[in-house]
């Protein structure tokens, strides 16, 4: 768009965060809850494991997410650079909004049954809106791991797609399934 200004993602370091608590893990890496001291709020820190040692894919994902927000996609506040534990080497990740009610997978496990139809319909609609938003970014961001554990819930049980394995196509006509 003409006249649109894009700012680089904010870099958030350990001096702005305290009280790290590990709240999740997976093949992607680890998730921590931390208190942002300047903002006065809890945030989620998603640390990624890199096979090649580079953070280029996380930087591209964050840049795309900074194009604009959507209420059905986890909000990314910035990039994390720091050390969660002193003996660890420096790490990179995403600083995101914290979703206190966990994932749809956790909700299903807690309910031990399908959710009530109105809630299931609302969550399916919200997930569809989030995917539509990601696919209409320029370039599109393809979510390659949409599943109940990657859909997170806020206090009102609103569903939001979380950044997971994603891919920015190099060519709008290519259809490969390799993550960035």
Angle at 149 between CA 129 and CA 32, to 5 degrees: 105
What is d(CA 111, CA 4) in angstroms, rounded to the nearest whole number? 45
**Is 147 labelled a binding residue?**
no
What is d(CA 34, CA 43) in angstroms, rounded to the nearest whole number? 6
Identify the helix (H) or strand (E) that includes residue 57. Answer: helix 56-65
Catalytic member of 42, 145, 158, 177: 145
- Taking a C-beta distance cutoff of 8 angstroms, is the pair 107, 101 a contact? yes
Residues 6+ apart with CB under 8 A from 16: 36, 37, 38
Give catalytic status of residue 145 as yes or no. Answer: yes
Residues listed for the chain: 180
Which residues are designated catalytic?
145
**Residues in the annotated binding site:** 46
């Amino acid at each position: 768009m003409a006249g649109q200004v894009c700012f680089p993602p904010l870099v958030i370091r350990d001096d702005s965060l305290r009280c790290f608590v590990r709240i999740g893990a997976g093949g992607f890496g680890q998730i921590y809850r931390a208190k942002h001291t300047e903002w006065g709020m809890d945030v989620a820190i998603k640390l990624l494991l890199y096979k090649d040692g580079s953070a280029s894919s996380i930087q591209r994902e964050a840049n795309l997410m900074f194009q604009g927000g959507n209420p059905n996609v986890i909000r990314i506040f910035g990039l994390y650079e720091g050390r969660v534990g002193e003996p660890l080497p420096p790490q990179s990740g995403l600083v995101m909004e914290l979703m206190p009610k966990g994932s749809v997978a956790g909700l299903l496990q807690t309910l031990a049954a399908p959710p009530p139809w109105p809630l299931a319909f609302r969550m399916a609609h919200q997930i569809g809106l989030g995917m539509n938003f990601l696919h209409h970014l320029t370039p599109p961001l393809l979510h390659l791991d949409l599943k109940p554990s990657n859909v997170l819930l806020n206090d009102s049980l609103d569903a939001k797609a979380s950044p997971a394995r994603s891919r920015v196509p190099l060519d709008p006509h290519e259809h490969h399934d390799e993550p960035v």
